[in-house]
Amino acid sequence: MTLDSVPSVPITLTQCAKTFRGTRVLEPLDLSIGAGETLVLLGPSGCGKTTTLRMIAGLETPDAGGRIAFGDDDVTALPIERRQVGMVFQSYALFPNLTVRGNIGYGLKIRRVPAQIARQRVDDLLAMMRLGAHADKPIAQLSGGQRQRVALARALAVQPRVLLLDEPLTALDARLRDSLRADMNALLRELGITTIYVTHDQAEAMELGDRIVVMSEGRIEQIGTPRDIYYRPANRTVAQFIGTLNRLAGESRDGVLQTTGGAVPLPSHACAPRMHASHASIGHDAPHELFFRPEDAYLADPASAHLRGTVEHASFLGERTRLTIGGAAPDALLIDVAGRVELARGTPVGVSIAQDALIALS
């Protein structure tokens, strides 16, 4: 089913900084969100995700000089009720004294939408969110997942131009989160509404985001598609925040990085002469460290493998086994192999890394 929503708009933040009582919590940030795009703000606690979202909602004002536009409308000075945004908070903030129907229809009532139209719209949303059987229950009788869907339906009822979601799944247990994440994904694709989704859960960010903004300490570290962020992290902060990363340290010469248990070929982008922005000179800064993901390594004949080491630990995880390999690099390496592979502790192994999977980080 479809809901006749207003056309989605692009959003532009220009030099939006935020200072609370003399403390700068957000550095001036520039951000463009395409019409209909789902942009995820990802980062550790306190990095400024909610503050950014609240500025877009109209619940906080950026410091002087910051500007927020929805399409061609400059909304910087508009309060939340005039921005046409739908918002879902981590806590849901539902009205406990109203029924499901009452909660979803609340915004329509406030806006004096004619009763028949409002009723139809609430019925559509109840169906869309699979809440029909609960329509007349008070909020207190709903499960966490049902409450989350009521909050989403309430945000959508007023036909927002922009949907703002602040950790909407965080309050739920792990299983429910996984299934609602898939529902959420389907729903956002179907609605095609410009959405900003805040989370500190990388799996959520990967599944839901058309693009992800990785933030840390009030700054944007990287903006990119989930694949960009995962395979081409801009720096260590991003790389360490997303997924698991192995480190190979040693000396590089003659096109290889020599480390404890062998050598790996330097990735082509790491050997090219590079301009040093700070010195404006050309240098060959061959890396002392390279990184790779556990799933990008494979077991190989020790005689011809890049690295040699021994199995220190094997964790069987069902579809895969995660091996801890010692002696191959200064740090133990984590590598993923098929679940059926069984290797005892102390087994000598060869480990090679897939071509193009080595990452050099600044």
Ligand X SMILES: Nc1ncnc2c1ncn2[C@@H]1O[C@H](COP(=O)(O)OP(=O)(O)OP(=O)(O)O)[C@@H](O)[C@H]1O
The residues that touch Mg ion, with contacts defined as CB under 5 A, are 50
Nearer to ligand X, 46 or 132 (CB): 46
- β-sheet with 11-20: strand ranges across: 23-33, 11-20, 67-70, 73-74
Choose the contact partner of 47 out of ligand X, Mg ion, none; CB within 5 to 8 A by kind.
ligand X
Site for ligand X in 159-218 (CB under 6 A): 200
146 touching ligand X, by CB under 6 A: no
Q: Give the residue from 57, 40, 3, 34 showing the smallest Cα distance to 181.
A: 40
113 touching ligand X, by CB under 6 A: no
Q: Shortest gap between Cβ of 54 and ligand X (angstroms)?
A: 8
CA dist 307 and 262 (Å) reads 4
Nearer to Mg ion, 52 or 259 (CB): 52
Alpha-carbon distance values, 219 to 49, 86, 225, 291 (Å): 10, 25, 18, 24
Per-position x/- string for 26-65, each x denoting binding to ligand X as judged by CB under 6 A, each - no binding: -----------------x-xxxxxxx--------------
Nearer to ligand X, 20 or 95 (CB): 20
Choose the contact partner of 135 out of Mg ion, ligand X, none; CB within 5 to 8 A by kind.
none
CA dist 340 and 288 (Å) reads 35
Choose the contact partner of 7 out of Mg ion, ligand X, none; CB within 5 to 8 A by kind.
none
> At CA 86, angle to CA 227 and CA 214, rounded to 5?
25
CA dist 64 and 15 (Å) reads 9
Choose the contact partner of 237 out of Mg ion, ligand X, none; CB within 5 to 8 A by kind.
none
Nearer to ligand X, 37 or 166 (CB): 166
25 touching ligand X, by CB under 6 A: yes
Nearer to Mg ion, 31 or 100 (CB): 31
Question: Helix 144-157 to helix 174-191 angle, to the nearest 10 degrees?
Answer: 20
DSSP-based three-state secondary structure for 318: coil
Q: Is 70 exposed, middle or buried (0-12, 13-18, 19+ CB in 10 A)?
A: buried
Q: Shortest gap between Cβ of 168 and ligand X (angstroms)?
A: 12
Q: Shortest gap between Cβ of 16 and ligand X (angstroms)?
A: 12
Choose the contact partner of 199 out of ligand X, Mg ion, none; CB within 5 to 8 A by kind.
none
Site for ligand X in 298-337 (CB under 6 A): none
Choose the contact partner of 86 out of Mg ion, ligand X, none; CB within 5 to 8 A by kind.
none
Residue 16: other Cβ atoms inside 10 A: 25
> No. of H helices and E strands in the chain?
9, 22
Choose the contact partner of 103 out of ligand X, Mg ion, none; CB within 5 to 8 A by kind.
none
Report the phi/psi class of residue 250: left, alpha or beta, with left for phi > 0 and alpha for psi in -120 to 50.
Answer: left
Q: Shortest gap between Cβ of 75 and ligand X (angstroms)?
A: 19
Nearer to ligand X, 48 or 262 (CB): 48
CA dist 12 and 22 (Å) reads 26
Q: How many residues bind ligand X (CB under 6 A)?
A: 11
Q: Shortest gap between Cβ of 45 and ligand X (angstroms)?
A: 3
Q: Is 100 exposed, middle or buried (0-12, 13-18, 19+ CB in 10 A)?
A: buried
Q: Shortest gap between Cβ of 292 and ligand X (angstroms)?
A: 29
Interface residues toward ligand X, by CB under 6 A: 20, 25, 43, 45-51, 200
